[in-house]
């Protein structure tokens, strides 16, 4: 008999019914081993001879081992097709998991726990579970030793077939992704700032509380919440509301007031529809909370509003005051209908631009949120979002190769997107720096990097690392040398320092295994930078960067 068998039972206290089943049955005992020899990957490998495949080779003398000293690691087996999974058997080497989860997934993206423990003691864990999916993952969250994690064998038993759940039901505490839970691991090799996860999380929460005090408002009554934008053209802009929705939904668990604030932001979105497509958000409101300047939509704000609604659906479910999922899908479909150019599959500036106007083939690089496109594809099942995502990734590659081969920098805007996309020579919308890396494109390293760290996509990783290589060399590894704006060849536009410019580079630094010291320097620069109550823009960007580089960003 195994040294230890763990049987998980569903309690009456509110765990998701049906995830875990106590005891064994004759049917369960008869289910065949389905993982041996299957494709398997891991978040890291300690060294040669300890590859992930060693854990599914049927031999108890070979093993997989993760890198030492890191708590957040995983190993995942691809069963090839969807299976009903009844049993998972883990044969630990001396380096075992004290806290870990066993999870299933149909798409290698959304994961459902079928077992979890925080009291593991090594040996053999023979787990009876009830779940379904093509992928099975063991996610370590706390090591039992000073080493990493190591498994002689990972065995999955089950039968082909079975339909995985199509929705995620929040657990009994009401949260699907409590801040700090890191339920979705990053791509292999992604760095975090040095320090314990508890310290890093506390630093993020501290900055969030100061950001919240500076910018979250409940003005004009009506149950509204807003993010005030003192450095924008109007007191309230869609971009700020989008930032707020993403931030507040992500920080749930660290802020007991998060859902109330978020629902106030949702009400604001509903009560301020775009005058062109009412499923989108009007871009600007005055001090009396009335939409102004035409009341049309802006793509940057709408992208984050839709994404924030998807986060909320996964965080709290959609059975409360607002059906977040339904609102998100409507918003996503409206973006596709009114803010994507159907000829180029590239984002327009807003729903106000239409065929024949001078801005129809103009796009803003900071709007190209690749992880958002992935979330939209998953939420809607619409394959057009794959086409849209690829079009933007291809354009990033083309611009880096043709216009910034030594830096990887992108311009604020790109014109002629229907023929030969290029940076504008002068002003096309905002300033003479529209064709340079300036107050819009400063967000690009964060946006590209967010997809790179979460998806591991080779295109995003290549683009991110190109930016990181350049800026680290340009500044001599000193974040204080990151200027406000550059020409695409790397020539500095102006001096000074702003979080909107230095913080985003931390995300691309995290994609380079050789940039730990550089990442730590950027992190320390952020910690030393107080929240600027006069700039929602810089403060909101830095906060979201801090969330991302600490491993707390996730794609719904």
All domains of the chain in start order, with CATH: 39-160 (2.60.120.260), 197-550 (1.50.10.10)
What average pLDDT does the segment 223-244 reach?
97
CA 171/CA 252 separation, integer angstroms? 14
CA 313/CA 331 separation, integer angstroms? 14
Which phi and psi (to 5°) does residue 128 adopt?
A: -90, 125
What is residue 30's predicted lDDT score, i.e. its pLDDT? 58
Instruction: Please report, to the nearest 10 degrees, the dihedral formed by the alpha carbons of residues 85, 91, 97, 101 taken in order.
Output: 0
CA 159/CA 396 separation, integer angstroms? 43
Active-site residue, from 46, 153, 300, 339: 300
Encode pLDDT of 141-181 as tens digits. 899 999 999 999 999 999 887 543 344 444 445 689 999 99
Active-site residue, from 93, 125, 239, 284: 239
Encode pLDDT of 185-227 as tens digits. 999 999 999 999 999 999 999 999 999 999 999 999 999 999 9
**Between 20 and 159, residue with greater pLDDT:** 159
Residue 454 banded pLDDT, cuts 50, 70, 90: very high
Encode pLDDT of 518-548 as tens digits. 999 999 999 999 999 999 999 999 999 999 9
What average pLDDT does the segment 333-361 reach?
97
Would you say residue 9 has pLDDT above 70? Answer: no
Residue 344 banded pLDDT, cuts 50, 70, 90: very high
Active site residue 239: yes
CA 41/CA 36 separation, integer angstroms? 13
Residues 264-298 as b or e (16 or more Cβ within 10 Å = b): bbbbbbeebbbebbebbbbbbbeeebebbeebbbb
What is residue 173's predicted lDDT score, i.e. its pLDDT? 52
Give the CA distances from residue 471 to residues 294, 368, 464, 467, in Å, rounded to whole numbers and listed in that order. 40, 21, 11, 6
Query: Which of 157-161, 244-248, 315-319 has the weakest average pLDDT?
Result: 157-161
What is residue 21's predicted lDDT score, i.e. its pLDDT? 31
Residues 400-417 as b or e (16 or more Cβ within 10 Å = b): beebbeebbbbbbbbbeb
Query: Which of 6-10, 48-52, 164-168, 488-492 has the weakest average pLDDT?
Result: 6-10
Residues 502-525 as b or e (16 or more Cβ within 10 Å = b): bbbbbbbbbbbeebeebbbbbbeb
What is residue 25's predicted lDDT score, i.e. its pLDDT? 33
Would you say residue 468 has pLDDT above 50? Answer: yes
CA angle 193, 196, 202 (to 5 degrees): 90
> In terms of Cα–Cα distance, which of 327, 449, 18 is closest to 335?
327
**Between 13 and 462, residue with greater pLDDT:** 462
What average pLDDT does the segment 111-126 reach?
88
CA angle 114, 116, 120 (to 5 degrees): 140
- In the structure, how many helices (H) and strands (E) does the chain have? 14, 16
Would you say residue 426 has pLDDT above 50? Answer: yes
CA angle 340, 463, 495 (to 5 degrees): 95
What is residue 162's predicted lDDT score, i.e. its pLDDT? 54
DSSP per residue, 351-395: TT--TTSTTTT-EEGGG--HHHHHHHHHHH--THHHHHHHHHHHH
**Between 130 and 283, residue with greater pLDDT:** 283
> What 3-state class would DSSP assign to 74?
strand
Whether 502 and 487 have beta carbons less than 8 Å apart is answered as: no
What is residue 4's predicted lDDT score, i.e. its pLDDT? 27
Q: What is the largest CA-CA distance in the chain?
A: 75
What is residue 156's predicted lDDT score, i.e. its pLDDT? 94
What average pLDDT does the segment 253-279 reach?
97
Average pLDDT, the chain: 91
Query: Which of 5-19, 126-140, 275-289 has the weakest average pLDDT?
Result: 5-19
Q: Could you tell me the pTM of the whole model?
A: 0.72
> In terms of Cα–Cα distance, which of 137, 150, 135, 136 is closest to 70?
150
C-beta neighbour count of 364 within 10 angstroms: 24
Active site residue 73: no
Instruction: Please report, to the nearest 10 degrees, the dihedral formed by the alpha carbons of residues 332, 338, 344, 347 taken in order.
Output: -60
Most confident of 1-10, 15-24, 239-248: 239-248
């Amino acid at each position: 008999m195994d040294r230890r068998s763990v049987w998980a039972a569903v309690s009456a206290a509110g765990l998701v019914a049906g995830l875990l089943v106590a005891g064994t049955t004759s049917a369960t005992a008869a289910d065949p081993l389905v993982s041996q020899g299957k494709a398997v990957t891991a978040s890291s490998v300690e060294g040669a001879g300890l590859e992930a495949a060693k854990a599914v080779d049927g031999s108890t003398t070979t093993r997989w081992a993760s890198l030492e000293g890191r708590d957040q690691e995983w190993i995942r087996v691809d069963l090839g097709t969807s299976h009903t999974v009844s049993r998972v058997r883990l044969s630990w080497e001396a380096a075992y998991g004290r806290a870990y989860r066993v999870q299933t997934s149909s798409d290698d993206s959304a994961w459902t726990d079928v077992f979890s423990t925080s009291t593991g003691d090594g040996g053999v864990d023979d787990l009876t579970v009830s779940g379904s999916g093509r992928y099975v993952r063991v996610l370590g969250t706390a090591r039992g030793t000073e080493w990493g994690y190591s498994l002689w064998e990972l065995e999955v038993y089950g039968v082909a077939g079975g339909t995985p759940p199509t929705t995620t039901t929040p657990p009994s505490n009401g949260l699907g992704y409590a801040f700090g839970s890191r339920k979705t691991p990053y791509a292999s090799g992604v760095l975090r700032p040095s320090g314990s996860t508890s310290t890093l999380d506390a630093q993020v929460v501290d900055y969030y509380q100061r950001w919240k005090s500076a910018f979250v408002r409940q003005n004009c009554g009506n149950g509204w919440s807003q993010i005030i934008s003192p450095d924008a053209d109007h007191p309230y802009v869609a971009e700020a509301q989008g930032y707020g929705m993403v931030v507040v939904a992500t920080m749930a668990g660290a802020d007991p007031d998060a859902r109330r604030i978020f629902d106030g932001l949702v009400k604001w979105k509903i009560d301020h529809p775009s005058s062109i497509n009412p499923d989108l958000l009007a871009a600007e409101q005055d001090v009396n909370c009335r939409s102004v300047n035409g009341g049309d939509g802006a793509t940057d704000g709408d992208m984050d509003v839709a994404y924030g609604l998807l986060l909320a659906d996964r965080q709290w479910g959609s059975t409360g005051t607002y059906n977040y999922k339904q609102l998100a899908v409507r918003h996503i479909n409206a973006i596709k209908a009114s803010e994507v150019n159907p000829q180029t599959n590239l984002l327009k500036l807003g729903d106000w631009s239409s065929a024949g106007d001078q801005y129809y083939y103009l796009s803003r690089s900071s709007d190209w949120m690749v992880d958002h496109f992935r979330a939209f594809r998953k939420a809607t099942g619409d394959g057009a979002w794959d086409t849209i995502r690829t079009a933007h990734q291809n354009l990033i590659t083309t611009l880096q190769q043709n216009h910034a081969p030594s830096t990887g920098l992108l311009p604020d805007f790109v014109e002629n997107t229907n023929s030969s996309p290029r940076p504008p020579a002068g002003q096309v919308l905002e300033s003479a720096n529209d064709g340079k890396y300036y107050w819009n494109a400063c967000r690009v390293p964060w946006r590209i990097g967010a997809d790179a760290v979460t998806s591991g996509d080779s295109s995003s990783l290549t683009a991110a690392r190109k930016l990181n290589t350049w800026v680290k060399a340009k500044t001599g590894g000193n974040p204080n040398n990151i200027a406000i704006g550059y020409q695409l060849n790397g020539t500095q536009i102006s001096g000074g320092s702003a979080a909107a410019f230095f913080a985003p580079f931390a995300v691309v630094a995290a994609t380079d295994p050789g940039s730990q010291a550089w990442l730590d320097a950027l992190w320390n620069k952020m910690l030393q930078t107080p929240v600027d109550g006069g700039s929602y823009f810089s403060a909101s960007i830095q906060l979201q960067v801090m969330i991302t580089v600490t491993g707390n960003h996730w794609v719904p």
